[in-house]
Structure 1
Amino acid sequence: MRKNRLGQSDLYVSEIGLGCMSLGTDEAKAISIVHEALDQGINFVDTADLYDEGRNEEIIGKAIRQRRQDVILTTKVGNRRIPGQEGWSWDPSKAYIKNAVKDSLKRLQTDYIDLYQLHGGTIEDPIDETIEAFEELKQEGLIRYYGISSIRPNVIREYLKKSNIVSVMSQYSILDRRPEEEILPLLAKHGISMIARGPLAGGILSERGRSKAEKNYLDYSSEELLNLHDQLSQETSDSRNLAQTALHYPLANPSVAVIIPGASSLEQLKSNVMAADVAPLTSEELADIQRISKANRYKLHV
């Protein structure tokens, strides 16, 4: 599988990664999916301390314990669980980040994280303090690089100005083209990579996606989604199905280093991996997709 450099780091990541949020808590099943992903050439494994209240990290830790050298391991921080209370609270403080990383390392059964990401962020955060925490973790050897997971342009701009992030994770697909107007050009200018999550838009952009298109998605009505699904299906070539077209759309932008579709079954994983074997979108195909889809815009957090 093709590998791309992640920003200015020395991490080379498979263009298709494994988003672990949807793996579930059936340990044997989840581990089999991770192992198959590694066997198929995927080396980018993305989890978070938030997923299943840390259980996801524990499962990933068991899955990669004997294959740590094959994995670019990334997890996220910032959502704090308060004992005795339901849910999570947002905490980007230096003290919390430096404590939370130790818990993630324990669950992941490793002594370092390749890419540690801030799992969100607002412009009101103590950004300088947050950056200081990540920089100290780098110096201590607990993490190799850091990035942020954010869809907020104002937050992304602050980190580009002040920090040494190597990546920005953001939702990006044919149905969510918001990064194209400002974020992707900004990342290209700074040599930062995008990690594109949600490339299949919750499964809408797949052969079985018509049933999932019966609800609205961003600024698309269900009727618009169904019409677009039909148009995209007609646009697909003999050598590429709808899901493969959708997976290749974010990869057509040179600032996107890796896409991370989720997989809750071996069937879904193998379908995602098959996209690596088909040709990239041509400039004509890209133009056609952009003609029939919406160039969404950020309306908040600008």
Structure 2
Amino acid sequence: MRKNRLGSSDLWVSEIGLGCMSLGTEEPAAVRLVHEALERGIHFLDTADIYDAGRNEELVGKALKGRRSDVILATKVGNRRISGKEGLSWDPSKAYIKTAVKDSLKRLQTDYIDLYQLHGGTIDDPIDETIEAFEELKQEGVIRFYGISSIRPNVIREYVKRSNIVSVMSQYSILDRRPEEEVLPLLAEQGINVIARGPVASGVLAEEGARKVEKGYLDYAAAELSTIREKLMPLARQDRSMSQTAIRYSLSHPAVAAAIPGASTLQQLIHNVGAADAPELTAEEVAAIRQISRPNVYGAHR
């Protein structure tokens, strides 16, 4: 499995990571999937404190017992549940971040987090205070590096300008090319890497994705998604399936260090890992894909 350096950090992440959100809540199955991922060369795991109300971090922690040093572990902070209040509340305050990290460490059964990420962010946040929280945690040795998980260009620009982030997690795929216009060039110029989530577009770009097109995706209607799938099929080959082609597309941009498809079954995991050994896309194939799909752009948060 190829490893890429994450920004200016000393974190080297497997180019295929494991998005842990889809592990489920049953311990034996979740632990088995994480262990299988490690055995197959994935050593970059991404979770968040809100996934299954903290249960996901607990399961990842159980799976990594005795193997913590084998992985680059990423989690996220910023969304909180307040007693008596329905849903999630956004809280990027220094006080909350420094409290929440202790809970994550306990659930993950570790004394440090390799990559701590702000799970969202708005331009109205107390950004300097948020950055200060991450910097203090880094100085304390509680986290090694920090980044943000955001699709808001205005927020990304502020953190690039004002912080020491090493990564931006962003949705990026053949069907979501919004980062290409203004986010990826900026990050490449600043030496900050992208962690691409959703490379298979919620399964629309998977082999069995034909049954998922009816729901649409972003601003794509079902008919257009079906057409795109048909046009992509010739680019899939015996040694690189459609979903693996989609993962390799996300990895084809030089700013992208890792793609983190989710996996809820062993079969999905094995197939995702196979993208690491599948042939990289040629420049001609990338150009062809960009002719098939649309260069959609962010309509808000500019």
* Shorter-chain TM-score range: over 0.9
The secondary structure found in structure 1 opposite 2:186 is: helix
Equivalent AA in structure 1 for residue 249 of structure 2:
Y
1-structure distance, mates of 2:7, 2:34: 25
**Partner residue of 1:39?**
39
2-structure distance, mates of 1:168, 1:128: 17
**Partner residue of 1:263?**
263
1:24 aligns with 2:27: no
1-structure distance, mates of 2:130, 2:288: 42
Q: CA deviation at 1:219?
A: 1.7
- Contact 1:194-1:258 within 8 A present in 2 as well: yes
Q: CA deviation at 1:239?
A: 2.2
1:103 aligns with 2:99: no
Q: CA deviation at 1:235?
A: 2.4
- Contact 1:214-1:226 within 8 A present in 2 as well: no
**Partner residue of 1:177?**
177
- Contact 1:145-1:165 within 8 A present in 2 as well: yes
**Partner residue of 1:5?**
5
Q: Which moved more, 1:213-222 or 1:148-157?
A: 213-222
The ranges of structure 1 where at least 4 consecutive aligned residues each deviate by more than 6 angstroms after the TM superposition are none
Q: Which moved more, 1:226-235 or 1:103-112?
A: 226-235
**Partner residue of 1:60?**
60
Counterparts of residues 93-242 of structure 1 (less than 5 Å)? 93-242=93-242
1-structure distance, mates of 2:127, 2:26: 37
Q: CA deviation at 1:240?
A: 1.3
The secondary structure found in structure 2 opposite 1:156 is: helix
Equivalent AA in structure 2 for residue 31 of structure 1:
V
* TM superposition score normalised by structure 2: 0.99
2-structure distance, mates of 1:73, 1:218: 29
Aligned residues with identical type, % of pairs:
70
* TM superposition score normalised by structure 1: 0.99
Q: CA deviation at 1:107?
A: 0.4
5+ unaligned residues in a row in structure 1: which ranges?
A: none
Q: CA deviation at 1:83?
A: 2.0
1-structure distance, mates of 2:98, 2:56: 20
2-structure distance, mates of 1:66, 1:154: 41
Q: CA deviation at 1:236?
A: 1.7
1:296 aligns with 2:271: no
- Contact 2:235-2:245 within 8 A present in 1 as well: no
Q: Deviations over 1:134-178 (max 9, x none)?
A: 000000000000000000000000000000000000000000000
- Contact 1:21-1:47 within 8 A present in 2 as well: yes
Q: CA deviation at 1:241?
A: 1.1
Aligned residues: 302
5+ unaligned residues in a row in structure 2: which ranges?
A: none
The secondary structure found in structure 2 opposite 1:299 is: coil
Tell me how large the CA RMSD over aligned residues is: 0.7
2-structure distance, mates of 1:273, 1:293: 25
Q: Deviations over 1:60-89 (max 9, x none)?
A: 000001100111000000001112333210
Equivalent AA in structure 1 for residue 37 of structure 2:
A
1-structure distance, mates of 2:193, 2:119: 16
